[in-house]
Amino acid sequence: METIMNTLQLQDLHVGHDSTLLTANLTVSSGIVAILGPSGSGKSTLLSTILGSQPSKSGSIFIQGIDMTHAPIQHRSVGMVFQDPLLFAHLNVEDNIMYGLLRHQVDKSEARNQAHELLEWVGMAGFGKNSVHELSGGQAQRVALARALAPRPAVLLLDEPYSALDTDLRTRLALEVAALLRERNVVAMHVTHDEAEARSITTSVFRIANKQLEEVPS
């Protein structure tokens, strides 16, 4: 069977409102691309449009070579990790990770096995039965990452996922997660306002300038 490469392609994609309209042309066929830009420049709007929670003004979004511009969220094969972990407070760690798998009709026993594997992968083996209220900020983001990756999305979007953490933890977690994503061959778009963080995880860095995505020379 032919392997389908995970790719994300944006063609003349216009997102946002008329006064803050952002134009994006970009192809990500492997690894992580970082997007830099100040607050209000359209970074989160771009991710929301790729995710499918916000419509585009015009242009196209291709995921694995398929036009997903107008597809509903559940058909896009896109996962997302936000600045806040947004874990389900009424579910324990294991059930948070299983949530998306069960919605995709994965057998409960298999979903539990996958949750355990993902927890080990993100360095949190043995935390499955813990309440999310017992987690530190870094641990909660690891669980959010595992939950986003559980349904095996083609594309992962990271919206300033470490900005609420202290500097040392933010730096360490950014490097660890980038290594994990490369190991899993996940195509990812990492949005940040921190150029040092962007440079630490990838050589493919773009900046929002003049309402467009422009590649930043390495």
Give the confidence band of 94 by pLDDT, cuts at 50, 70, 90: very high
State the average pLDDT for the chain: 91
Do β-strands 32-36 and 58-63 pair in parallel, antiparallel, or remain unpaired?
Answer: unpaired
Q: What is the percent of the chain with per-residue pLDDT over 70, rounded to a whole number?
A: 97
Give the confidence band of 150 by pLDDT, cuts at 50, 70, 90: very high
For the chain, which domains are there? 8-215 (3.40.50.300)
E strands, 29-73, are 32-36, 58-63, 66-67
pLDDT at 112 over 50: yes
Q: Quote the CA–CA distance of 66 and 57 in Å, as a whole number.
A: 19
pLDDT at 181 over 90: no
| Angle separating helix axes 137-149 and 167-183, nearest 10 degrees | 20
- DSSP string covering 100-165, please? HHHHTT--HHHHHHHHHHHHHHTT-TT-TTSBGGG--HHHHHHHHHHHHHTT--SEEEEESTTTTS
pLDDT at 5 over 70: no
CA 178 to chain CA centroid, nearest Å:
11
* 154-175 pLDDT tens trace: 999 999 988 888 888 888 888 8
- From first CA to last CA, the distance across the chain in angstroms is 37
* 8-37 pLDDT tens trace: 999 999 998 776 689 999 999 888 999 998
What average pLDDT does the segment 115-141 reach? 94
**Which residue in the block uniquely carries the two structure tokens 């972990």?**
85
What average pLDDT does the segment 202-207 reach? 93
Give the confidence band of 2 by pLDDT, cuts at 50, 70, 90: very low
Q: Quote the CA–CA distance of 112 and 74 in Å, as a whole number.
A: 21
Number of neighbours of residue 190 by Cβ within 10 angstroms: 28
Q: Quote the CA–CA distance of 48 and 212 in Å, as a whole number.
A: 17
How large is the greatest C-alpha to C-alpha distance in the chain, in angstroms? 51
